[in-house]
A and B are shown apart, each in its own frame.
Chain A
Amino acid sequence: MMHETARLGLWHAAYVMARRDFRAILFSKAFVLFLLGPLFFIGISLVAGTLGARAAESAAPARLAVALPQAEAAAFERAYAYLDRAVNLPPMRAVPVDSAHDSTRLLADPAANFGAVVTGSLAAPRLIGTEERLESWRGEVALIVAEAQGGGSGAIPDIALEPTKTSVATQRSARVATATGAITLLFLLTMLLAGMVLSNLVEEKANKIIEILAAAIPMDAVFLGKLLAMLALSFVGIAVWGSLVLVGVAVGGAALPALPVPAVGWPLFVLVFVLYFSMAYLLIGSVFLTIGSMAPTVRDVQTISMPATIMQLAVFFLATFAMNSPGSPVELFAAIFPLSSPYAMVARAAQSMAMWPHLAALVWQAIWVALFVRSGATLFRRKVMKSGPSKRATKAA
């Protein structure tokens, strides 16, 4: 008896809503615009690329390790100090000469952040590092060596170059670029989707169907259904874009530049990106839904959604800023604050190999999604579902 008469359960009702919204939006003009979104993304990413480059530059600069005999190292340091006043030299640090025997380990030490190692002797210097770094620093090192040798002859000594595959500094810089790209992509996708979910709710208000929904199913289910429908649509969009990218890779793969590998590796990074994208969207989407449902008119929806949009931008900038200082209080705050958490954590996935913080963060974000949806539904019931104010204005006793 109860089963036949009871209201639909939360998830069943959310499915009914999601199914309706999914079908309605999939065949709408709004979805076509959503699919064209990447064009918008390309434009924005040109701007964001500049920001990313700056962020990569501002990441802890790579240092030059000096592994020379003690007297020569001292001469090198004096020459460095002399030239540094006139030339922009990379920061340097002297290391014990025997450590140069394992320059690969030296270059892989994340705490030292070395970009290259000068070793051998002043008479026959060798520079060990990535090709890119060697190309960039060989001139500066030759100048310093010439100055350390006495500098009188004016001849620039030959530096023997010994390229390695990578260095921590190069890797870190590349990962910062990956993190920046991921945050920017996350931001743009969530903004597009949150805008769509808001338009969808505005349509619902204009259609005056919201009271029918409120009478039949839990308001939480209405909110949840709308959020999930849009999320499913975004996956359709991602599948379309992903397919196009795969076709692009298959056709011109050799011509495409190699992407820097994130710390957790590409498969895991793609997985956590999708998960954080879902969370970022559900979080901001539930905020937008609450705002949309609370606003009495369509115009009010647009007006009061502005602060939420500004907040979203602030969250984006916070996460971009925080990723440059892993482990700092700012980065920790960005990882904990619910709205910035997905952005900060996706940046972490690009830069750090530890996986357990992602599990904790996803659970934390899911709790906030549930809280936002519940609060939005409660506010809607309390503040919106009432008749127009009575002219009687009888004061409550």
Chain B
Amino acid sequence: MLTEAHAIPPASRTSQGPLAIEARGLVKRFDETLAVDGVDISVPEGAIYGILGPNGAGKTTTLRMLLGIIDPDEGLRRVFGHDRPQEIARLIGYLPEERGLYPSMRCDEAIAFMGALRGVPIGEGKRRGRELLEEHGLGHAVEKKIRALSKGMAQTVQLLGTLVHRPKLVVFDEPFSGLDALNQGKLERMIRRLAEDGTTVIFSTHVIHHAERLCNDVAIIASGKVPYAGSVDAARDRIPAQVRLETRRGDGEWLRALPPSTERESKAGGGHFWYFPLPETGIEALMRDLIEGEAGVLSFSVERAGLHDAFVEIAGEAAARALEADAQGAAA
């Protein structure tokens, strides 16, 4: 089952420091369906890490394997150096995609129960629960039953239950789904605060801008495979930056400095727009050619590629369309 390629070296570190999660060649089949097909992931400690992909891509199954809820058919995973993540359950907090709480429990009891599952004594859990509720503006709801809360408040209570045992690693499966813009903003701030405190946060999402705004690193997952895993910057840099140039003149020797794929757009009142990828020779050489060739530069801007463009480039048009459809569906 385990091949040489899947072996995890003993030193679980990268240039970014020690790894919180390391997975090699994870494979999971459900009956005849190959849900996850050889996923490799490395999550540095203290990072905010996103798993980005459309619904059905294998995000949840990957997270469940990383947490030890299910075992992979092939491959290895290691969380904080442990091959069996269940053995360090007290270091991990998990918010599944399908949110759930006991409706008859009070808010502080619900948080304390989730803490008790991770080893926090009930009394201590209630105390911490009340503190967390106060801290997040839900002090008035401490004694309220879950069934009496709004959906957003119930989600916040569950989120606090995920954090009550002060985990070193927090795993969120589609944490933004079902939240309004206000609560999405609150959650983003909470995730950033966790990372500032040294907690590793890994979350799955099908909304690119959440990953782009929050994550240091992402894994792009499509059809059970991870075609890219690395920093968000490196993903964006896979697509050359786009130059938008505005000139008075439309001809001249300077045109040789522009790449063959350049697109031209002439303005009605005179002047021209030029769109092309930034040449490998760099901005300085290009600018020199334009000035010496008397192109009559009116404006010049370089636009770095977004994560969406990177996703299209890496995962393909079909996956990108599925991702957009999921995001629109969630928003609707």
Contacts and interface: CB of A to CB of B under 8 A. Distances in A.
B30 A386 contact: yes
B304 interface: no
Query: Of B29, B69, B224, which is in contact with the most chain A CB atoms at under 10 Å from its CB?
Result: B69
Contact of A393 (B33, B67, B69): B33
Interface string B92-121: 101010111111110000000110111100
Given A210-B100, A212-B94, A216-B89, 8 more contacts: A6-B89, A7-B88, A215-B94, A381-B71, A389-B33, A392-B56, A393-B33, A394-B34
A392 B319 CA distance: 12
14 contacts: A5-B87, A5-B91, A6-B87, A207-B100, A209-B100, A211-B96, A212-B100, A215-B69, A385-B69, A386-B61, A386-B70, A390-B35, A390-B58, A394-B33
A24 B96 contact: no
Contacts of A396: 29, 32-34
A216 B64 contact: no
A4 B90 contact: yes
A161 B42 CA distance: 95
Interface residues of B, number: 42
B101 A209 contact: yes
Contacts of A214: 69
B266 interface: no
Given A216-B117, A386-B70, A208 B98 contact: yes
- Shortest 7 CB-CB contacts between residues of A and residues of B: A208-B100, A7-B89, A209-B100, A216-B117, A211-B96, A208-B98, A215-B94
Query: Of B33, B61, B87, which is in contact with the most chain A CB atoms at under 10 Å from its CB?
Result: B33
A348 B224 CA distance: 58
A306 to B, nearest CB: 25
A381 B105 CA distance: 26
B102 A20 contact: yes
B86 A208 contact: no
Given A389-B33, A392-B56, A217 B101 contact: no
A395 interface: yes
B156 to A, nearest CB: 15
Contacts of B101: 207, 209
Nearest to B61: A387
B247 interface: no
B117 A16 contact: yes
Given A8-B89, A381-B70, A393 B118 contact: no
Given A211-B69, A215-B67, A216-B94, A8 B119 contact: yes
Given A210-B100, A392-B223, A8 B117 contact: yes
Contacts of B90: 4-7
A228 interface: no
A89 B244 CA distance: 116
Interface in A193-220: 207-218
A16 B112 CA distance: 11
B60 interface: yes
Nearest to A217: B117
Nearest to A214: B69
Query: Of A24, A214, A218, which is in contact with the most chain B CB atoms at under 10 Å from its CB?
Result: A214
Interface string A60-80: 000000000000000000000
Interface of B: 29-30, 32-35, 37, 56, 58, 60-61, 64, 67-71, 86-92, 94, 96, 98-105, 113-114, 116-119, 223-224
B34 A217 contact: no
B56 A390 contact: yes
A212 B110 CA distance: 12
B99 to A, nearest CB: 7
Contacts of A7: 86-90
A208 B99 contact: yes
Query: Of A5, A7, A24, A389, which is in contact with the most chain B CB atoms at under 10 Å from its CB?
Result: A7
Contacts of A211: 69, 96, 98, 100
Nearest to B222: A392
B87 A389 contact: no
Contact of A391 (B56, B70, B92, B118): B56
Contacts of A6: 87-90
A204 to B, nearest CB: 8
A28 B71 CA distance: 37
Nearest to A210: B100
Contacts of B91: 5
A13 B86 CA distance: 13
Contacts of A385: 64, 69-70
Contacts of A2: 87
A28 to B, nearest CB: 8
A270 B101 CA distance: 40
A215 B85 CA distance: 10
A395 B104 CA distance: 44
A395 B92 CA distance: 33
Interface string A1-45: 010111110000100100010001000100000000000000000
Interface in A94-130: none
A397 interface: yes
A396 B27 CA distance: 10
B32 A395 contact: yes
Nearest to B171: A215
A209 B117 contact: no
Given A7-B86, A215-B96, A387-B61, A392 B33 contact: yes
Contacts of B103: 207
